Structure 1
């Protein structure tokens, strides 16, 4: 009987002894604690994988949309969709590898292959052709064994991407010419004018009076007029909505012009087509006079094109263009009359660029200070030109027109 009571007393003592509770609780909670910590690390890793998937898919859709634009849609929609698949093949192959490097469909060694779905579409109209490349990528990302105790071995991650591009014979745009018509624009170039036997070949030394001499040389202002004519012709040829003497002349292109010497001349406000701006330039005097101050003329162009000017936006919207490109072409053959004016022009150029308007600049046979100013004002080095003769300024204005009429590729995520 005594032995029985001794056993009972020992059992009760064991139950009352709490010295082993910490070890017992730790054993029970450790997997949960480790799993919680592991879940946080896995969440971070999964987000990194998702970002990588997004970047890879964006790159592939953008490349396919760009190819469609550059090739002018010569391949089929399926081909452009396959272009995305081809560019993603190596990446999706890496995603499909299991923890041990094996690839499978649903087996233990591999994981389910990523699902890549791509659609290429195009829309054709009289203005040209637009493309939309859309893709979705879904993949199962394996989780670390540390948190597999909760029964979740993988997590599904999905991303999508859409890129748009277009090629056309023209694009919706508003372009404002800001042109120098100061006295130095009366000076001769090195190009002979074979239509005349003799003429007043003005130079900096002979200005403002000179006798008629032979041969006759083309003046700077004549060269500018030829260049603007080439620009308008190029825009018209690139514009599928252009109608000679139509009303309106165009449904895509709006142009305006303002000339300046020591002060701005009355402008030709933006209007549909190119004929009115072209006529304005052609009407400039054969032998302009005056100093050089582009500050107010540039502000006039900026005011017409700035983003908070709802009028210009509404004009394009009424013709079915939800978006349009805005351009200013700033040209001079000299330097501003004073450093204060130079600073004012630079300040306005900064505001123009900050507003999203692209500036093309043309320093025609200009001195160093004039070139420095226009290099600063240009939206990019590719938007700056410094022609030294008639042929080069005509080519420059033609290239400006071609750039203005192009349509970029856009990522639409």
Structure 2
């Protein structure tokens, strides 16, 4: 957990992304000591004290740690243990809890992770709480990246509710620092790169996962410079550049860590051939688009294919027939796919036309059928 904001002479909070590396004219928001901007290539960019870190900063940073980013389990060990117990108990009484557990229980209720139904004194776990227990169990390794992102977003909201209640009771401002911390991380973009590194006449296919606020071209230039001392890069390919999904970097690094390909002090490279294919093909591509407004975020598209198929199955059950995307009219097909028309006129087969134009074979077939009906000849 790092300090991401300092205070300028006007008393305004300044982000680490708005300053250059080295000593800066900023001070710690808690103790007033001078700060140094640390902006290396290994760790997350952050401010460090010009001396020993103050205790107030340490406590506040621990309280405002981001779930499933700064805190790998999502919640503290005490809270996770309490959720596990609540999921097993068929009855409940606060007298069964220690003083530490009672405090954790109250925070879980405030956050909405533990709920009460009307007329029932027994607490129940929310959907997010159940998912969190699954993630921290032995089956957690099967948790998909889109589901992980959705859970993380729910925990961001739950954490904010906890801190708002704490600030109201204690007159503190931890929520403000949490929102600043969250806004800083949400500005980070997730990138996934595949490259071939030649060492001693052997070509190693490698994967690199990271986060950045800059363009992918700038980051790739730095990566090539870092790898020059270990070998020659034959090619480098962008598998994904996902805006505002930098909060998932640590999850991906954890999943690919067993396949690590260590290069000197660089530990963030992995062997592509050993990584499960679904991680790169399905999980990454199903993340969708995340919209960010300060510390708030929303995902406008996720699991698109799964949602479409689910809707089609429901429609089939209700209407006793398959309902899919409406068919295009003949004129619309010809307007939308002039490249397929050229392929038809050049005498290309379905497969060849699909390969040349990048269109699906069914799309090519539909256009070809319209052209044949209209009497065009090859």
Higher-RCO chain (CA-CA 8 Å, sequence separation at least 6)? 1
Q: Which structure's CA Rg is the greater one?
A: 1
TM-score normalised per structure 1:
0.22
TM-score normalised per structure 2:
0.24
